[in-house]
Structure 1
Amino acid sequence: MDYVIPKELVDASIKAGETKARLSVKDLLIRGFYSGLALGVATTLAVTVAVQSGLPFLGALLFPWGFASIVLFGMELVTGNFALMTSAMLAGRVRFGKALNNWLWVYIGNFLGCLFVALLMGFSLTNGGTADPSPVGEKIMEIALSKTVAVKEMGTNGFFLFIVRGIFCNFLVCLAVMMGMVSKSVPGKFMGCWFPIFAFVTLGLEHIVVNMFFILTGMVLGAPISGMDMVFWDFLPVTIGNIIGGGIFIGALLYSTHYTKSQGLPQMAMEESMKNPVLR
């Protein structure tokens, strides 16, 4: 059967978190780099289609291919890991230190992937630095400023607004992660994760990795954004919101209602424990 029932889905998410906690720093960085790269290219495509067509929803409709490739290739995206590692921690299979290690290195990998694409796109969107930014480049700069300087101008309200948008965003992104795991077929995974991602882009919510790309590219193109604008007024509130949205409203919520401990014989439990020790 192609469909994975909720209890098995939660078990699979716990196992996925456990597996991710075992990955080496090298693998976390490489897979995280790919995810930043994929989302950077997908974001540029979405903006290009929106600018050329005048229909933003068309760009949002195409954007999810980048996320789908991350799911299908087993790469690392920190926002999805907020949910998976939380499930594994609640089940007692992964310690907080291991989860934090995963989040940190994947976050860095995602950032480096976005930075790499930002540098190349900055070069491309200015004809190798010989012209002013193209209309697509100007739009990216406009979006980057709206996610940093505009938030700073709003002060505390802006900071908490981005936390809230980050919560809703990663609720949808981690819903996409889970919907991708609900199916065992490639078409099922593809379609399952497509619509929640389309929804978050259409609603204008805040995703930390997508924002990394927008802001870094905007800075490369010459947008007047400081490091403090980027880190304090965007990265910090959006990351907090994404952790809450994915960790609590998907990881913890699904775990709390669908996870049940095995009721096997003590010997069986001991053997299973030996095969799958808690990661410290």
Structure 2
Amino acid sequence: MTQVPFDALLPAEMAKKAEDAGVAKATKHPRNTFMLAIMAGAFIGIAFIFYTVVTTGNANMGWGANKMLGGLAFSLGLMLVVINGGELFTSTVLTVVAKASNKITWGQLAKNWVLVYAGNFVGAMALVGIMQVARHFEQGPGTSHALGIQYMSIADHKLHHGFFQAVALGTMANVMVCLGVWMTFSARTVTDKLLAVVLPVAMFVAAGFEHSIANMFQIPMGIITKARVDDSFWAEAGRAASDFDALTWSNFLINNLIPVTIGNIIGGGLLVGWFYWYIYLRPSKSA
């Protein structure tokens, strides 16, 4: 009987593939990098729209079950990035593998990170603009505007973490994202890749961890929604603008985006990328 070989790439091969992917990312034409980053920022925003919709009005479902449902919905974002192509900052930090192997320079790494981060922000904010023109926040059961309240509630919650708490939550989010992406390096088919990313993403979302690029969509969506709605919205929703006093641009930057980004770099770049480089690639370099 002919023995069927193991089809997926093994861990050492995955590390080499991550190294090659890092070189490709860091040496890609800047225009293409930026455009793909815009796409990825929009993809993650689309996933957060999905998350917000499916978690709205589920009071009787149970807290954990509702979180899991939202996490599964949010996994759409990384699916779109992995399959369609996109430059996402939280997975781009894995280029530390290529830098640790001296395949790219610090300048190439820094330029790539800045381009991708900026592109992700442009994509996320463009989607916020589209959703505001669509007045998506007005949806919900009856005249309750439950979806708009959910957009603001999620954003508001994200602005009440302490600085180091936000760093830790960002660290754990990108550990899970980059583990999902790392598993796709073993994949041979589209199905393999999709299955690889679903549960890691669902886990970090359900657990309430923080993702900087997702927050580039969700928090501005909450801030701008609060600024746009009128008195009739608040009356019909049974809420008040004062319920969301934390929704300001300065709070977004200082209380969330900066510490969460730091955490994302630590979680993905150090705790996933560097560790796997040290285990599988450093010994071969030393030898």
Whether TM exceeds 0.5 here: the answer is yes
Count of residues in correspondence between the two structures: 253
- Whether contact under 8 Å (2:70, 2:202) holds in the other structure is no
The one of 209, 213, 228 aligned to 2:250: 228
Deviations 1:35-78 (A, max 9, x none): 11111111111111111444232121121122111011221000
| 1:201 equivalent in alignment to 2:197 | no
Indicate whether 1:141 and 2:152 are aligned.
Answer: yes
The alignment status of 1:185 with 2:152, answered yes or no, reads no
Q: Is the 8 A contact 1:175 1:250 kept in 2?
A: yes
Q: Which residue matches 2:3?
A: none
Superposition TM-score, scaled by structure 1 size: 0.85
After TM superposition, list the pairs within 5 Å mapping 1:247-266 onto structure 2. Answer: 247-259=269-281, 260-261=283-284
**Which residue of the partner structure matches residue 23 of structure 1?**
28
Distance 2:144 2:128 in 1: 13
Q: What secondary structure, in the 3-state scheme, does the structure 2 residue paired with 1:163 have?
A: helix
Q: Given residue 261 of structure 1, which amino acid in structure 2 is its aligned partner? A: S
Q: Deviations over 1:184-227 (max 9, x none)?
A: 11111110111100100000000000111111101110265333
Task: Tell me the distance in 1 between the aligned counterparts of 2:285 and 2:168.
Answer: 37
Partner Cα distance (1:115, 1:133) in 2: 26
- Superimposed CA distance per residue, residues 138-170 of structure 1 (whole angstroms, 9 cap, x where no aligned partner): 11111111222x23xxxxxx0000000111110
CA distance in 1, matches of 2:224, 2:130: 10
Cα 1:263–1:237 shift into 2, 3 Å = closer
Deviation track 1:63-110 (CA, whole Å, cap 9, x = no partner) reads 112211101122100000112x11000001011111111110100111
Matches within 5 A, 1:61-140: 61-83=72-94, 85-123=95-133, 124-126=135-137, 134-140=145-151
TM-score for both structures, normalised by structure 2: 0.83
In 1, Cα distance between equivalents of 2:123 and 2:68: 25
Moved segments of 4+, more than 3 Å: 260-264
Measured after TM superposition, the shift of residue 113 of structure 1 is: 0.9
| Runs of 5+ unmatched residues, structure 2 | 1-5, 60-65, 227-243
1:262 deviates by 6.8
Query: In angstroms, what is the RMSD of aligned CA positions?
Result: 2.0
Q: Does 1:46 align with 2:51?
A: yes
The aligned counterpart of 2:221 is: 217
Assess, with a 3 A threshold, how the Cα gap between structure 1 residues 126 and 253 changes in structure 2: closer, same or farther: closer
Report the residue type matching 1:146 in the other structure.
Answer: H
Gaps spanning 5+ residues in structure 1: where? 152-157, 265-280
Q: What's the % identity of the aligned pairs?
A: 28
For residues 174 and 140 of structure 1, the distance between their equivalents in structure 2, rounded to whole angstroms, comes to 26
